[in-house]
Amino acid sequence: MTAMRKWLSAAAALAVPAGLSAVLLGSRALNRLIRNDVWALFAQAAPTASGIVTEAMLQDLPEPVRRYLTYTGVVGKPLVGTVHLRQKGKMRLGAGQPWLPLDAEQYYSVRPPGFVWSGTIHLGPLPLARARDRYLDGNGNMLIKAGSVVTVADATGAEMDQGSMMRYLSEMIWFPAAFLGDNIAFEPIDASSARVTLTDHGRSATAIMYFDQQGRLTNLVAKRYRMADRGYALEIWSTPVVEYGELAGLRLPVRGKAVWKRPDGDLEYIDVTITELEYNLDSRDAAPAAASTEPEAIAPPGAGPVA
């Protein structure tokens, strides 16, 4: 049994007796925390660089990366400084376990890299668990609350930092102009793949990106720390793209999954669809939903938490 499954089993046991009033109060407190985290994220974000993406910016990239960025349509589009997205999907706790409904909202800063993700896993009318995942100032933190009330996880440390940083790197596919930043380096592998490295706060995260002949990103594969029964395990992790569509005027993944490549078999644990995407928010627009008092208003993400 994984650490995540234990935490959410505890959440199921605690959420029901907590009652609706306790869940509402806990949700409001968590909403305030998330709102403050998003404001902190936007406060440290550098102003969005003026100008647009040009062909010249792609010139020195490996050929499959140039093909990919050209396919997305970023050439001629403004550079990106902040990002907001929403998702709906499903998540499961382990192989053979049932899929549970999942909602998500997430904010990003591009310079420096950072994100705040808030999520809800539902079981019936009440939230089974709510979570806030964060990468800020080079540090990762996963906070999980049973029914928005009882803290069942508050993970920090070097492994969490690495996992959060890797997650950020994998989710740059929703704001691909960020791959042109001076904190990103590419190494060519072959005609359909390249190695990408993100550097931040003196640390690096590296993954392999795979592309098809059209230039679409099809998968990202890396070593990432996974929460396990006795701490953390460094395992192969991938984020296959299921479907493309148009978001914010670009051709981007609209549905994707996350998979742990484990010795006892692959564990596909999250499947999400992007429902909304916007760029270059003003700080005054940050975390509008986080101010809501409804438990369902803020919910989980992207390629998913460190599970």
Q: List Cβ neighbours of 182 (8 Å cut-off, separation of 6 or more).
A: none
For residue 78, the model assigns a pLDDT of: 96
Q: What percent of the chain has pLDDT over 90?
A: 67
Q: Which amino acid is at 119?
A: G
Task: Return per-residue pLDDT of the chain as tens, 307 residues.
Answer: 455 555 555 555 555 555 555 666 667 888 999 999 999 999 999 988 889 999 999 999 999 999 999 999 999 999 999 999 999 999 987 888 899 999 999 999 999 999 999 999 988 777 788 889 999 999 999 998 876 667 788 899 999 999 999 999 999 999 999 999 999 999 999 999 999 999 999 999 999 999 999 999 999 999 999 988 778 999 999 999 999 999 999 999 999 999 999 988 999 999 999 999 999 987 666 654 543 333 333 223 333 333 4
Q: Which amino acid is at 59?
A: Q
Q: Which pair of structure tokens corresponds to residue 25?
A: 């109060």
The backbone region for 127, taken as left when phi is positive above 0, alpha when psi lies in -120 to 50, beta otherwise, is beta
- In this structure, what token pair is assigned to residue 84? 């907001």
Q: Nearest-CA neighbor of 2 among 96, 94, 130, 131? A: 94
Q: Which two tokens stand for residue 223?
A: 């070593």
Q: Is 245 helix (H, G, I), strand (E, B) or coil?
A: strand
Residue with tokens 């049994």: 1
Q: In the Cβ-directed half-sphere of 303, how many Cα atoms lie within 13 Å?
A: 28
Q: What is the pLDDT of residues 82-95, one digit of tens each?
A: 999 999 999 987 88
| Structural domains of the chain, ranges and CATH numbers in brackets | 3-284 (2.50.20.10)
Report angle CA 77, 288, 200 to the nearest 5 degrees. 55
CA dist 219 → 110, 170, 187, 301 (Å) = 21, 9, 16, 17
pLDDT of residue 299: 29
Residue 43, judged by CB atoms within 10 A of its CB (0-12, 13-18, 19+), counts as: exposed
Cβ pair 221, 207 in contact under 8 A: yes
